[in-house]
Amino acid sequence: MFLQYISGPVLGAVIGYITNDIAIRMLFRPRTAKYILGKRVPFTPGIIPKEKNRIAGAIGGAISENLMNKDVLEKTLLSNEMLEKLRNAVNEFFNTQMHNEETLEQFAAHYLTEEEISAMRESTCDEIAKLISAKLRDKAIGANIAHAATQHVIDKTRSSVVGKIKADRLLEVISSPIEAKLAQHINEVLQDQAPFMSIKIVYAEADKLMAMPMKDLFKGHEQQLEQAREGIVSVYRNIISDHLPRILESINISKIVETRIQEMDMKEAEQIILSVMKKELHAIVWLGALLGSIMGTIMTFISI
């Protein structure tokens, strides 16, 4: 009599456990279609392998529309917490560099090759030298220098012993032709020598800059660093606010997710899903055992 009461619930529990376990396994397996005498066996491949492309598209769309859309990302990326993290990161970088004994060239070598540093240095120096050379070749430079020089001579003459005999007045009379001639000579020299002078000066200063320790570049400029930090935060804020939609459109999160899932091996996909939902899937299996046990108990009492 005891076995009559217990066999139904036990058998129902076993059947419920096994059927749910098989159903969950059939979500992933078999991973490919099976054929007998040229006929595809029903329920092969498993539901997830069979609908892999559709599931990939649905997941990609859901992530793009609901989890990684402009509003969600903007809210996260421009939150006070994120902006504070950025400020802290910039401050940490500045503080580190204030004690960094490396030269600027050594520091740059962490991120660029020697050839890239050299090419960047040359291109930058050449552009700056061209700008300086163009300014030096401006005829106004010669005129300004000549005027300053003649005025300096007149002032010195006026304050000297010679000035007491009014020699400075004579200089004032002849200063105009002298100034014009001097301006002409200065402009001729600058026209000829400006490129060479500019390159020599710029490259010499560049060498000094590259040989300067990082700590010397940062120390004593606390106010400028504070402004630079807020400038970086402001640029970051503007990029997120103004360009985030364009960025999202260009990277196409939905397509990236969809493609990644489609390229994923089913064994890998199964491992990922099981690692996330292992506890829940086991609960479903045991729930099947519980329901089977309940149904077995009910059927036992009905049959008595």
Contact assessment for residue 56 and residue 41, using Cβ atoms and an 8 Å cutoff? no
Q: State whether the Cα torsion 259-260-261-264 is positive or negative.
A: positive
Tell whether the model's pLDDT for residue 157 goes beyond 80.
no
Q: Is 201 helix (H, G, I), strand (E, B) or coil?
A: helix
**Highest-confidence segment of 22-31, 37-46, 195-204:** 195-204
Spatial separation of the C-alpha atoms in residues 186 and 180, rounded to whole Å: 10
Spatial separation of the C-alpha atoms in residues 142 and 180, rounded to whole Å: 9
DSSP 74-98: HHHHTSHHHHHHHHHHHHHHHHHHT
- Closest Cα partner for 176 from 194, 150, 199? 150
**CA 270 → CA 2, 47, 225, distances in Å?**
43, 12, 51
Confidence band for 173, pLDDT divided at 50, 70 and 90: low
Q: Helices 114-136 and 167-210: crossing angle, nearest 10°?
A: 170
Across the range 36-52, mean pLDDT stands at: 81
Across the range 232-249, mean pLDDT stands at: 87
Tell whether the model's pLDDT for residue 236 goes beyond 80.
yes
Spatial separation of the C-alpha atoms in residues 196 and 172, rounded to whole Å: 35
Structure tokens at 34: 């099976």
Spatial separation of the C-alpha atoms in residues 44 and 33, rounded to whole Å: 5
Greater model confidence, 113 or 246:
113
Tell whether the model's pLDDT for residue 260 goes beyond 70.
yes
Of 15-24, 96-105, 116-125, 267-276, the poorest mean pLDDT is in 267-276
Contact assessment for residue 277 and residue 8, using Cβ atoms and an 8 Å cutoff? no
Per-residue pLDDT at 3:
65
The vertex-94 CA angle with 92 and 96, nearest 5°, equals: 70
Spatial separation of the C-alpha atoms in residues 83 and 236, rounded to whole Å: 9
Q: Is 45 helix (H, G, I), strand (E, B) or coil?
A: coil
Give residue limits of the domains in the chain.
2-71+249-303, 102-212
Greater model confidence, 51 or 174:
51
Which pTM does this prediction carry? 0.58
Tell whether the model's pLDDT for residue 304 goes beyond 80.
no
Of 2-11, 216-225, 256-265, the poorest mean pLDDT is in 2-11
Please count the other Cβ atoms lying within 10 Å of the Cβ belonging to residue 168. Answer: 20
Spatial separation of the C-alpha atoms in residues 120 and 113, rounded to whole Å: 11
Q: Helices 222-251 and 253-263: crossing angle, nearest 10°?
A: 60
Residue whose pair of structure tokens reads 């503080």 in the numeric block:
95
Greater model confidence, 106 or 142:
106
Residue whose pair of structure tokens reads 């640029």 in the numeric block:
235
Environment class of 1 (CB within 10 Å of its CB; exposed 0-12, middle 13-18, buried 19+): exposed
Q: Helices in 32-166 by DSSP H: which ranges?
A: 47-50, 52-62, 70-77, 80-97, 104-108, 114-136, 139-159
Spatial separation of the C-alpha atoms in residues 205 and 208, rounded to whole Å: 5
Per-residue pLDDT at 163:
46
Percentage of the chain beyond pLDDT 70 is 90
Beta bridge partners of 35: 40
Across the range 112-133, mean pLDDT stands at: 91
Confidence band for 169, pLDDT divided at 50, 70 and 90: low
Greater model confidence, 79 or 137:
79
Confidence band for 232, pLDDT divided at 50, 70 and 90: very high
Across the range 208-233, mean pLDDT stands at: 89
Contact assessment for residue 149 and residue 182, using Cβ atoms and an 8 Å cutoff? yes
Residue 162: DSSP 8-state = G
